[in-house]
Structure 1
């Protein structure tokens, strides 16, 4: 649903000397510096795509020679500035170097001549087990800057989905990593910090040009390849695959004039077939023990639980699988989300908006879609012949922190408990994790709790209801006694049969170890 989106300028050019100069000019500044320069009010408004406060916060000082304000006004806010301001702010590269790189367009060559950015260029701070760094990442100008619908070949910057995927990716050392559908290249930059080699693919030549520029600006070497889905890497193996694929469920009945098939979000398949294909096929490029992590959307169809539908994909993959659904939208909410994502607003053309919405809802209705789930998938090629992990769950709301380390710990703990028989488990010493708290809920005057809940401070922030016996066991896990000794003492205190108590507790204990509530000493 577009009305003549603005034509796209050429993507940035690879000019080594100018890129090196620009990298040196930008090196002192990171995302925190930009936030501090804008102030909390303007920074918060800008996160909501409201630039007025940020324009006001940077207007006066930029004219007085404030380097960071000039950079932000030009490349983050898209405001008009002058060659002189950029020459002062970026002295090594200067406006001439920016122009050679294709990052700005100018009305002339004099210092006072007006300049506007041709790209969005902003800092991204990254923190992982290797330390911290900042990249300046270029992408196409967004709807806030173009003030209209996006072009079908728009290359997206670092948005919420990119941040989510980066946060949930496991970051241990990997020999070879694949970033499938790299876009502007942000996941590949993250992967390069803990991988010996990174291959990044995309069907869009424009996206690959941006990824090449961003890698050069960051001083990172990537193997960039053009092609759809797994085609560019068939026959190869990777230890890690990450993908923020074009998973948006788009009605195929709409013409490009009514609803462009945005390359960054629409893979050209009907319904959720693209995510299904990726789940079932990605094992073909995974090395033994290799992990694939991808974002996805899937349909909830009438009369079928979503876990049945997506679970069938896991079964067909032959891989260990863990699916987490983070959000559920009804069909109208889903269509509105992605119409606005493309820069469409109902107030601009109510009739066109309503026609597109009607077609989108009719497409869902034709397949009996009641809702759409949004979440992520973790897949792993088993080292042995048989998968041992099949988990589909719903965890709504924001996680307390990055999920990557937690997911890695859960995979390792799953492997540990899966390989232990009960006798070996009883011989372990366990410790309650430091982030676990216990809540007891009592009615006034009651002699005992009506409910006991264990709450996890990290990971997903899980809450697990437990009974008195399991609560007592968890409370006693301090790493001193074995699980067998603790259950023996607990049986004596509760005056119950030891065999029955162990049969009751060992299953929940395995799950608590897997999810990180209990840790092996």
Structure 2
């Protein structure tokens, strides 16, 4: 007996059956470490490349052993393979197949023990670290192309991908009264926020996404009193309200507005070009409380003859907010088109004419606006407590950063505020120490007693490397928190036989930069 392919709705959040599901998943040890141990490094790595055969082989071998329950759940909910009813009942002994079907997780072909059962959603363990510590939940989303073998439906609800993980890791996690997760999707950012906020509101234009988010938050034991979910576009559902933190992984993908080009709700905001990101940057201040922070991911177009930061910088100017933008990637239009056409399930070997038509539509769309490249990055915005914005940073970091980055960003914002309120006289009275993750690198020409280059390298955060002259290197080397900055400068001036004012003029601007970026800390 076989099961016809399903066009599933979202799962149902029934409290009693969710309690049974939660207990079963815990008892079966359906966790990230257990799944990785079952698959082994070869199959796990292949699965990350969207190749499921090694994982099917690994789970097939484990179907009769001690890991049979985990193997059945992985085959069912991750790999999209049928499982016999007896295996599902054994893996979910409280809920059983019938309960899983009532929740909208599976479909069964019959009631016999060997009748096949098929998942209609993806349900997998999630484990991550953010600036507040480690988390682990189970998350439901739509089955992906790897499991179904079909292109995604346009109302597909995405699980946790690289962008979701990035946003969770870069978000500041100090205590907040109210948090808004704009474009909540399956609810992952709202779940992260629930650990450090009194109340969380998640919004989405997709009714199916909100149902998945409702299921996932309930499965995590969180009710509407902790995470309220609302339907609507952009900031409309929270107009007139104020939040201390706004997080958003918005549908920022730049998609041609052309016939025949599918618009996926999870990635396409319905605007032309990069208008949705501009709209968020310039509009989010309306729902930020004084001192409130907004953090979002986005794409932006780089027009021919312009630098990448010109366009985004103009958005910051228009927003009236403090702004810090970190560009992490830059793609040309062809690379970008290929990435997102494949993301929707199209491939040139499956349908060359269809692929070429989509490819041409994307290239034509970019050409119509003279787009030379597309940037991707992290935007951190803040409504000043009072007065005009004082922070405007646009920088590019395409190399490795040290996640979770949220704590570093929060510390850098606090350092910026301290520096804004601290003139040079007050800075001279401060006590500074070198951060524990900072190392010094010296490069010497063979035979020379003095280095030609001295680098101060940050081990955490953004991994910055700052070139230091003799005076700055000497100053940093003496920063142990014991003596005030002014005392160190005077001692350094005596050693170098230079006027103290000249040393201060040379060193203090660089010291401010090192404090701002976390290489020097206040004692």
**What is the TM-score normalised by the length of structure 2?**
0.96
Q: Separation in 2 of the partners of 1:49 and 1:274?
A: 30
Q: How far off its partner does 1:214 sit?
A: 0.6
- What does the per-residue CA deviation read over 1:244-290, in whole Å, with 9 as the maximum and x for residues that have no partner? 000001111x21xx321000000011111100000000000001111
The farther-off stretch of 68-77 and 286-295 is 68-77
The farther-off stretch of 370-379 and 436-445 is 436-445
Q: Are residue 35 (structure 1) and residue 59 (structure 2) matched?
A: no
The answer on whether the counterparts of 1:143 and 1:343 sit within 8 Å (CA) in structure 2 is yes
The answer on whether the counterparts of 2:130 and 2:406 sit within 8 Å (CA) in structure 1 is no
Q: How far off its partner does 1:61 sit?
A: 2.0
Task: Provide the residue aligned with 2:460 in structure 1.
Answer: 458
What SS does structure 2 have at the residue aligned with 1:39?
A: helix
Q: Separation in 2 of the partners of 1:131 and 1:491?
A: 44
Q: Are residue 354 (structure 1) and residue 333 (structure 2) matched?
A: no
Task: Provide the residue aligned with 2:379 in structure 1.
Answer: 377
The answer on whether the counterparts of 2:170 and 2:403 sit within 8 Å (CA) in structure 1 is no
Q: How far off its partner does 1:60 sit?
A: 2.6
Q: Are residue 10 (structure 1) and residue 15 (structure 2) matched?
A: no
What SS does structure 1 have at the residue aligned with 2:409?
A: helix
Q: How far off its partner does 1:466 sit?
A: 1.4
Q: Separation in 1 of the partners of 2:125 and 2:111?
A: 27
**Residue of 239, 242, 254 corresponding to 1:237:** 242
Q: How far off its partner does 1:444 sit?
A: 1.5
The answer on whether the counterparts of 2:131 and 2:406 sit within 8 Å (CA) in structure 1 is no
The answer on whether the counterparts of 2:131 and 2:169 sit within 8 Å (CA) in structure 1 is no
Task: Provide the residue aligned with 2:312 in structure 1.
Answer: 310
Q: Structure 2: which 5+ residue stretches go unaligned?
A: none
Q: Structure 1: which 5+ residue stretches go unaligned?
A: 1-5
Task: Provide the residue aligned with 1:494 in structure 2.
Answer: 496
The answer on whether the counterparts of 1:148 and 1:344 sit within 8 Å (CA) in structure 2 is no
Q: How far off its partner does 1:162 sit?
A: 0.4
What SS does structure 1 have at the residue aligned with 2:8?
A: coil
Q: Which aligned runs of 4 or more in structure 1 are off by greater than 4 angstroms?
A: 128-131
The answer on whether the counterparts of 1:7 and 1:151 sit within 8 Å (CA) in structure 2 is no
Q: Are residue 268 (structure 1) and residue 270 (structure 2) matched?
A: yes
Task: Provide the residue aligned with 1:467 in structure 2.
Answer: 469
Task: Provide the residue aligned with 1:55 in structure 2.
Answer: 56
Q: How far off its partner does 1:132 sit?
A: 3.7
The answer on whether the counterparts of 2:157 and 2:186 sit within 8 Å (CA) in structure 1 is yes
Aligned residues: 513
What SS does structure 2 have at the residue aligned with 1:375?
A: strand
The answer on whether the counterparts of 1:63 and 1:85 sit within 8 Å (CA) in structure 2 is no
- What does the per-residue CA deviation read over 1:337-368, in whole Å, with 9 as the maximum and x for residues that have no partner? 10111111111111221222122112111111
Q: How far off its partner does 1:147 sit?
A: 1.4
Q: Separation in 1 of the partners of 2:128 and 2:354?
A: 41
**Residue of 152, 156, 163 corresponding to 1:150:** 152
Q: Separation in 2 of the partners of 1:207 and 1:266?
A: 14
Q: Separation in 2 of the partners of 1:214 and 1:14?
A: 8
Q: Separation in 2 of the partners of 1:327 and 1:130?
A: 26
* Cα distance change on mapping 1:8 and 1:398 into 2, 3 Å: farther
Kindly report the root-mean-square deviation, in angstroms, between the aligned alpha carbons of the 2 structures: 1.2
Task: Provide the residue aligned with 1:246 in structure 2.
Answer: 251
The answer on whether the counterparts of 2:183 and 2:203 sit within 8 Å (CA) in structure 1 is yes
